[in-house]
Amino acid sequence: MTQQTLIQAQQKSQLKRTFRKDLKAEVQLRLFTQRPSPISVPGRECRYCVQTQQLLEELVALSPKVTLETTDVYAQPEMALEEGITRVPAIAFGKKGKAKLRFFGIPMGYQLAVVVENIKTISRGVSPLSMDTRKKLRIINQPGHIQVFVTPTSAECPPIARLAHALALENQNITADVVEIEEFPALTQKYSVRSVPCTVVNELTQIPGLVTESEFVEKIMQCGVRQESNSAPVQS
């Protein structure tokens, strides 16, 4: 029986052209998942792990510059711990170690664009952020955690998700997670997420809806900035 593809033929053709034109350096995606088991273990259910792996395998097949590394979190728990992965499926972007850009859940629908844009940005090494934003981010010198809650059917979610990941790429003190709410209802309840996109910063501050880059950055700055008293001002 032929397996049904998750990325449609027309979209694959478009992505092939995009990757051929835009990708420069190689990019590795790291999928943290669990292997299918005939035995259901309470607390270890993963509804979309198999589909997420299939989706990413279809995606990386579109360019020789994109590769996929798959880790079973129960077979290799130390690797998940190293990357700070506590739930699956999870996609980590960038260098190995403590992952700063992560997507929790299957990036279907509008959210596939988040993965594609991350691949392009990392490959080209060019920040999509404005120069003003990049200057402001230089003074963030303590850990900041951004969580963007999304659904596959919301067209307003990708811009905020991409923005959060761009901030994490720009400043190593920031970790940015994109979380698909239907797959992780416990997190949705914990942060009282009632609509998407919804951004939670440092476990406390909530930024509802679609906001501009400058508005988003100002909120992040309020939560994650500590300027040393003897530090020099940022030069223009």
The answer to whether residues 114 and 158 touch, using CB atoms and an 8 Å cutoff, is: yes
Residue 224 confidence (pLDDT): 57
If pLDDT is split at 50, 70 and 90, which confidence band does 2 have? Answer: low
Calculate Rg over the CA atoms of the chain: 18
Residue 29 confidence (pLDDT): 96
CA 95 to centroid of chain Cα atoms? 14
When pLDDT is averaged across residues 96-106 and rounded to a whole number, the result is: 88
Domains and CATH numbers, the chain: 1-37+44-125 (3.40.30.10), 127-224 (3.40.30.10)
Mean pLDDT (the chain) is: 90
Residue 43 confidence (pLDDT): 60
Q: What is the pLDDT of residues 118-153, one digit of tens each?
A: 999 999 999 999 999 999 999 888 899 999 999 999
Six-digit token pair at 53?
């792996």
Percent of the chain with pLDDT over 70: 89
Residue 96: which of 85, 112, 109 has the closest Cα?
85
